Structure 1
Amino acid sequence: MANESRVKKSFLNARVNFLCYLVVLFISFYTRKIFLEKLGTDFIGLTGTLSSLLGFLNLAELGVGSAIGYVLYKPISDGDRVKINEVISVFGYLYRWIGFFILGAGIVLSVFIPLIFPDTIFQFGVIYMGYYAYLASSMIGYFVNYRSVLLGADQRNYIVTGYFQLTNIIRVLIQMVLAIYIQNFYLYFALELIFGIINSIILNWKINIIYPWLKSEICLGRQLFKKYPEIGKYVKQLFLHKIGAFVYGQITPFLIYAYVALPVVALYGNYTTITQKVQGLVLGVLDSTGAGVGNLISEGDNQKSYKIYQELFSVRFWISAILTFCFFRLSNSFILLWLGEEYLMSSLIIALISVQFFLSFLRGITDQFLFGYGLFYDVWAPAAESILFVAVAMIAGKAWGLSGVLCGPIVSTIIIIYIWKPYFLFTKGFKKSYLAFALFFIVHSIPMLLAFFGTDYVVDRFFSDKISSYSWLNWIIESAMFTTIISISSFVLLYPISSGLRSFVHRFIHIRR
């Protein structure tokens, strides 16, 4: 019965995430074009840089949310409401102090904004408005929304996703209308804060309905923190792991700004908008298994856990490769139609972004199982990943510009995420050799590459002449052809040699019945 509940919740999370992100995907592409035309490339580059700047401060979160989520798996499984209330109280206490620290650090950092943007075309009032709007929005998460961690641990993250995306869609549409008719930067940033508050009110109202018994006592948090020393241990370990993810996601725009130019941040952001939205759409489905994996591993059946890993890895690899190949072939023509020729980037840059996309997409399955096993103590790994990333990006960026900067995350991800992390999981978690992962990776790579080159040849040979003119209709036809052919051909090639894919297909058919 527990398994049935876990599977049902995973599928519900997947459905809600997919539908929400599908709507957001279309709206985001349309509104970004409007923002670029009406507010300018420099302004969009400014918003991306400010978001990254605030990301530095949020590093102080220390991985507390992840640690609490892990600690909650057991009491949720046991239905221990007393312990859940105590853990949430500890979480609220820790988040309150983190929020005060980030607020103070944010105020201090704001003093240096004129040094960070020395040659800006914007009034500093606009920059400060955006900065403090983003800072205040992040404070809501620390002081008000902390109880939502229970929804994630309880496999009810579809509630957070649904309400967040609904308010996000309304906000973006209002910003778009204002950009068309008013073009006021202050209003743009004010809406970021207003809708953050609205989302918080709705989310907490829903939490009170689902968990009427949830009574967090922040004033008791310090005392209860001593009762749960494992939280402190996991926080220390997960803090360093957050550094790697933070560096990967936040520092790239700064390095591009440093070694190229602020407008290039926006050009690069156009392509990463595509990858991020596609990742959000698909990972919302695939990552819905995260809490279920944690519950599965807690049962102690290592062989069953490894079997599920094989299934999830096979499906994620197949989907990751298809989406990566589609992005590589179709992104430039999409940008041309969406924004215009002046926003295009070179084939080399597209290839590097494609590799980044694949590596960041596929890594999630190994991360899920490392988290489920509580394997956080390789604290040197994220530090090494960050150092590798920054060192390679700075050295190569100085020599080759944007393409050099993009080599940083690729090199660090391959070494740490695809060599060390699987070794750590397989030897400490599954009790198997790393060679099992390496073989598994190779077995899946060969048929996917064959399918890509074959599909690329077929589309070029038989269809390109018929759809060579640039129009949305022709782009859609080419996209549909390429995606359909590579999906079918790769599945036909992969299915006979991937036991994980076969097992997943059989499981899916059984569930549907």
Structure 2
Amino acid sequence: MILPFYVFFLYLCLQTSVHLIMPNESRLKKSLLNAKVNLCFYLLGLILSFFSRKVFLNVLGADFLGLSSTLLNLLGFLNLAELGIGSAIGYVLYKPLYEQDKEKICEIISVFGYIYRCIGFIILGSSILLACFLPYIFPDTPFNSSIIYFAFFTYISSALISYFVNYKQTLLGADQKNYVVTAYYQSAVLLKTLLQMGLVYYTGNYYLWISLELLLGITYSIILNWKINQVYPWLKTEIKQGKTLFKKYPEVMKYTKQLFIHKLSSFVQYQTAPFLIYTFTSLKIVAFYGNYTLIIDKIAQLVNNLLGSTGAGVGNLIAEGDQKKIQHVFWELLSIRFLIAGIISFALFQLTTPFIGLWLGEQYVLPNYILTLIIFNAFIGYTRGATDQFLYGYGLFNDVWAAIAEVCINLIVALIGGSLWGLSGVLLGGLSSMLIIVGIWKPYFLYSRGFKTSVAHYWINYIKYLSILIVVGILCHYLLSAKYFSPKASFMHWALYAGIITITYSGLSYSLLYFVAPGIKAVTKRFLEKKSFFINK
């Protein structure tokens, strides 16, 4: 959706922010390579996802896709056993990678392999237990139990490969070589989707469609481990050795315990919505909601993949200890995210409904108030990245009470709201917890424990920037009303309308933010003065 502008703008922002915070040339190259690979596969995946979604809905039906989404969310519950360990290992690996301590790296990966194998057995046992309750979870589906059980255990088997075989891939991420994982995994996903489309179109067979999920997991595992052995020929790991060395690295469990709670909170925030929606509505509504989140999540993936590549550089910047420069970079990254979030949110509000109608049909369109709630959630998600990067850079994981509070707020509001208002009530749960914890607490925590200064400056600027985005949005909404352009008439009309409103909103928002947001002005200056790209020299 209106991707050319977003992609170009985001890539320029990435180039600028990475050059500002990365004094090390090799890390700069790795960050940019990660971003380029992510961008390439993002565009390919985005195009294919829209075609495949339509084929799957037409042939398999909304009920089957809703069943598949719900089963994957049940699998997500089982994966709670892992949350935090991968991130903790990545954090622990950073120093030995910097020092090129190969022996210590082998030990840490061995420990990780041991922990992951234990988790794999826990998930296997839990999945067998959960399988006993599948008839009660899906009492009124049009599908027989054999297809439900086949899909469930296929998804479980595919997931378990990561725990028993693919644990070494964490080293690639910690070493800023995540582009290797992305290239092989996304290639396998694209091939799988193409095969699924072909098989569904010609056979309409549910079992073949599901079987390709496991085939993807096996193929990806073989290729990934072959590549890891090429990149790190010296990497020798033993699961038994990991069990012995486990006590040698107590920091792994320390960070894991803290990060586990935070990851759990994120899981509840983003992954339980389809299951709750199914509980209070139906599988069809889950599929309808999935159409909208497909668009939202693809754009969020683009923003996070590109701007998230600066995360390691933020850690280096904080290590330098220059508080003035640290806050200067923070406001640049936050200003960039604010402008991007405003443009995307306005475009989504104006363009999503006609796009769904053209893409899938008017019967798949949800009410505008549902779209508004989805966009509010997405806006907070787009803008939170800068705060999260700096909290991680400072190692501020110990606010576990906030993560627990976020889970409680989300579930309480979603359960009450879902029982009263259905889909909109479930979405209110996520929005409430995001506003209180992500929107209010996290900035305060960063300023008080990280920057060690008053958060008042943050809120003054936040309200100022948000007001500009809202005023410009209201102005453009009425001046460029859809009734003047008929975006529902055809994709050509939709594309014309998308271009006009995006360019207009972007130009007005950028112009106003340029005069009130020093971060936007600084980013613009570096675009125009190439010499400033070498600020660290």
| TM-score w.r.t. length of structure 2 | 0.92
Of 483, 493, 512, 1:493 maps to 512
Q: Provide Cα deviations, 1:444-495, integer angstroms capped at 9, x if missing partner.
A: 21222222223223322xx843445510111011111111111121111111
Of 258, 271, 276, 2:292 maps to 271
Of 437, 449, 462, 2:470 maps to 449
Q: Does 1:305 align with 2:326?
A: yes
The corresponding residue for 1:429 is 450
Change (3 A) 1:402 1:428: same
The corresponding residue for 2:498 is 479
Equivalent pair of 2:66/2:287 in contact (CA under 8 Å): yes
Q: How does 1:360-375 map to 2 (within 5 A)?
A: 360-375=381-396
The corresponding residue for 1:35 is 56
Q: How does 1:308-323 map to 2 (within 5 A)?
A: 308-323=329-344
SS at match of 2:347: helix
Q: Does 1:110 align with 2:124?
A: no
CA distance in structure 1 between the partners assigned to 2:493 and 2:521 by the alignment: 35
CA distance in structure 2 between the partners assigned to 1:126 and 1:441 by the alignment: 50
CA distance in structure 1 between the partners assigned to 2:288 and 2:306 by the alignment: 28
In structure 1, give the amino acid aligned to 2:509: S
Equivalent pair of 1:260/1:401 in contact (CA under 8 Å): yes
CA distance in structure 2 between the partners assigned to 1:221 and 1:468 by the alignment: 59
Of 503, 508, 511, 2:522 maps to 503
| TM-score w.r.t. length of structure 1 | 0.96
In structure 2, give the amino acid aligned to 1:41: A
Q: CA deviation at 1:512?
A: 6.5
Q: Provide Cα deviations, 1:176-234, integer angstroms capped at 9, x if missing partner.
A: 11111101111111000101111112222222222222222322112322221111111
In the alignment, structure 1 segments of 5+ residues that lack a partner are none
CA distance in structure 2 between the partners assigned to 1:501 and 1:228 by the alignment: 43
SS at match of 1:495: helix
CA distance in structure 2 between the partners assigned to 1:351 and 1:290 by the alignment: 30
CA distance in structure 1 between the partners assigned to 2:34 and 2:183 by the alignment: 10
Q: CA deviation at 1:398?
A: 1.5
The corresponding residue for 1:172 is 193
Q: CA deviation at 1:149?
A: 1.1
Moved more, 120-129 or 448-457: 448-457
Change (3 A) 1:79 1:337: same
SS at match of 2:103: helix
CA distance in structure 2 between the partners assigned to 1:117 and 1:305 by the alignment: 51
Change (3 A) 1:4 1:455: farther
CA distance in structure 1 between the partners assigned to 2:403 and 2:495 by the alignment: 41
Q: Does 1:232 align with 2:232?
A: no
CA distance in structure 2 between the partners assigned to 1:4 and 1:424 by the alignment: 32
The corresponding residue for 1:347 is 368
The corresponding residue for 2:17 is none
CA distance in structure 1 between the partners assigned to 2:143 and 2:58 by the alignment: 17
In structure 2, give the amino acid aligned to 1:232: M
Q: Does 1:50 align with 2:71?
A: yes
In structure 1, give the amino acid aligned to 2:506: S
Q: CA deviation at 1:423?
A: 1.0
The corresponding residue for 2:277 is 256
Equivalent pair of 1:153/1:291 in contact (CA under 8 Å): no
Equivalent pair of 2:110/2:237 in contact (CA under 8 Å): yes
Aligned pair count reads: 511
Q: Provide Cα deviations, 1:211-264, integer angstroms capped at 9, x if missing partner.
A: 222222322112322221111111111111111111012211111111111210
In structure 2, give the amino acid aligned to 1:482: I
In structure 2, give the amino acid aligned to 1:331: T
Equivalent pair of 1:62/1:236 in contact (CA under 8 Å): no
SS at match of 2:289: helix
Equivalent pair of 1:25/1:281 in contact (CA under 8 Å): no
CA distance in structure 2 between the partners assigned to 1:449 and 1:351 by the alignment: 13
Change (3 A) 1:123 1:469: closer
Of 267, 280, 298, 1:246 maps to 267
CA distance in structure 1 between the partners assigned to 2:323 and 2:251 by the alignment: 23
